[in-house]
């Protein structure tokens, strides 16, 4: 497919950087139209998936990700905590479900999962699953054996973002490699779990880097079932604290290209939504986004809040998603 070809809802895994950059360069109305056309071919455009994310272990991470408030390398004022008890996590998940969440995600600030923590996490996962929620976790790097253990506990999705383009990655993180991330994604796939994988924009990257991130996601052996697109929330004390915000229309372009490259994936507006106007969010939904995080916080950064989200979705005539993602349902 070139920039002049009609949009297609059949996944491809051979995108070139030039093709992706050509999509970014389309006039915005044309780009959004193409993305909306693909979106409607796969999903109900009036439905939005609602997910909630809880930090089950905060701060003290050995990674040096330049955007992260939880890194032990930076002085951000965040107090490190121990892993929460399963009972507390399950109780929070029950509240999330009562508030309308359909998926509950558990995040721990670790470089990698330790075997000693697997039983406690398994208890969390199985308890949340028993509530009737889809389960997701983001716990850093995994071994193949750990991935199998999480799957056996009932974990549906594992989140492990690529963050940025391969050639831009070392500027953001030095404590692990791009290949480390790809290896974890392979372990997740081999264990039979669905993948949640996306990246962050607004970290001082170029448009070509944004194209490279989406190209890397689209050219994985299987597209991620969920693709979260985060807008950087600058955190005082981190190397990226002074990064300029990504332009709102450029964020919409990124959502639209993600929809075109990963037509059967749920595309989620993740971090940064609290700073977006209602109009920007509406444009993102028009361009193919069909998931948001709800609740008061996204790990350590703020979200708009339940009342604001309900008002936005009501005003747009959007409703909670009733079906599983096509790719995830096919893999089940």
For residue 65, indicate whether it is catalytic. Answer: yes
Q: What are phi and psi of 195, to 5 degrees?
A: -110, 135
Which of 34, 65, 176, 259 is catalytic? The answer is 65
Separation between Cα atoms, residue 151 and residue 41, nearest integer Å: 31
Check residue 141 and report its DSSP letter.
B
Which of 103, 111, 136, 210 is catalytic? The answer is 136
For residue 196, indicate whether it is catalytic. Answer: yes
CB-based contact 141:176 (threshold 8 Å): yes
Which of 82, 111, 116, 196 is catalytic? The answer is 196
For residue 61, indicate whether it is catalytic. Answer: yes
For residue 262, indicate whether it is catalytic. Answer: no
Pairing of strands 301-302, 297-298: antiparallel
Which of 34, 103, 105, 262 is catalytic? The answer is 105
Q: What is the DSSP string of 240-282?
A: TTTPPPPPHHHHHHHHHHHHHHSTTSEEEE-TTGGGS-HHHHH
Which of 111, 181, 259, 268 is catalytic? The answer is 268
Strand residues in 183-326 grouped as ranges (E): 194-196, 199-201, 226-231, 266-269, 291-294, 297-298, 301-302, 319-320
Strand residues in 146-257 grouped as ranges (E): 157-159, 194-196, 199-201, 226-231
For residue 197, indicate whether it is catalytic. Answer: no
Which of 34, 68, 111, 210 is catalytic? The answer is 68
Residues belonging to the active site: 61, 65, 68, 105, 136, 196, 268
């Amino acid at each position: 497919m070139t920039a002049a070809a009609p949009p297609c809802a059949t996944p491809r895994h051979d995108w070139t950087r030039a093709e992706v950059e050509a999509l970014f360069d389309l006039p915005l109305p044309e780009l959004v139209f193409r993305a909306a056309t693909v979106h409607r071919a796969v999903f109900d455009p009036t439905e939005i998936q609602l997910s909630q994310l809880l930090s089950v272990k905060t701060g003290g991470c050995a990674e040096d990700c330049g955007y992260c408030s939880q890194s032990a390398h930076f002085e951000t004022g965040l107090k490190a905590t121990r892993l929460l008890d399963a009972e507390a996590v399950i109780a929070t998940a029950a509240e999330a479900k009562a508030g309308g969440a359909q998926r509950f995600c558990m995040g721990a600030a670790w470089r990698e999962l330790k075997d000693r923590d697997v039983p406690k996490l398994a208890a969390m996962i199985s308890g949340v699953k028993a509530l009737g929620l889809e389960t997701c976790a983001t716990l850093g790097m995994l071994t193949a054996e750990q991935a199998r253990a999480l799957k056996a506990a009932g974990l549906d999705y594992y989140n492990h973002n690529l963050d940025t383009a391969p050639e831009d990655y070392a500027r953001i993180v030095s404590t692990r490699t791009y290949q480390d991330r790809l290896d974890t994604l392979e372990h997740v796939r081999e264990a039979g779990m669905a993948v949640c994988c996306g990246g962050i924009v607004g970290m001082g990257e170029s448009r070509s880097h944004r194209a490279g991130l989406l190209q890397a996601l689209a050219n994985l052996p299987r597209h991620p079932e969920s693709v979260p697109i985060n807008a950087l929330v600058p955190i005082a004390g981190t190397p990226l604290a002074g990064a300029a915000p990504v332009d709102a229309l450029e964020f919409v372009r990124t959502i639209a290209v993600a929809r075109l490259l990963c037509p059967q994936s749920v595309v989620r507006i993740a971090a940064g939504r609290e700073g977006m106007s209602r109009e920007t969010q509406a444009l993102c939904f028009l361009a193919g986004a069909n998931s948001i995080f709800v609740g008061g916080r996204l790990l350590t950064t703020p979200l708009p809040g339940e009342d604001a989200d309900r008002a936005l979705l009501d005003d747009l005539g959007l409703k909670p998603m009733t079906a599983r993602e096509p790719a995830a349902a096919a893999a089940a």
